[in-house]
A = this chain, B = another copy of it.
Amino acid sequence: MEKLATEAADAAIASLAGWTRQDEKWIAGSYRFVSFPAAIAFVSQIAEVAEAMNHHPFIGIDYKKVTLRLTTWHAGGLTELDIRSAERYNEVYQASIAGQR
C-alpha cells in the first residue's frame, strides 16, 4: 500500500463527508450520537470493521461524540486503506439510526 500523492489524497478526502485532513499524515472524522450508549455501540461496530481490515483508527469518545483518526504507519502517511476505512465508517454511521452528526 503506497502513500497517496497530496493531490490524490485531497481529492479523496473531499468526497468523505465529515472527514478532514489534520496534517500531512492524518485524517479525522467526527460522529455525533443521541446518547453515550449509542456512541459506544458505534465504536464496537467500527472496531469490527477495523479488525477485519487489520487497520485500526485512533478512537476518542467524548460523551456523545466519537472522533476517529487514521494514518498508515508503514507508509508514513495516507493511503487508500485510510480512505476506504473512512468510507466504511461513514457507511456504518449512515446505517445506524443514532441521530445526526
**What residues of chain A have their CB less than 8 Å away from a CB belonging to chain B?**
36-37, 40, 43-44, 47, 50-51, 56, 58-63
Contacts and interface: CB of A to CB of B under 8 A. Distances in A.
8 contacts: A36-B50, A37-B51, A40-B44, A43-B43, A44-B44, A58-B62, A60-B60, A61-B61
B51 A56 contact: no
A61 B42 CA distance: 14
Given A40-B44, A58-B62, 20 more contacts: A36-B47, A36-B50, A36-B51, A36-B56, A37-B47, A37-B51, A40-B43, A40-B47, A43-B43, A43-B61, A44-B44, A56-B63, A58-B60, A58-B61, A59-B59, A59-B60, A59-B61, A60-B60, A60-B61, A61-B61
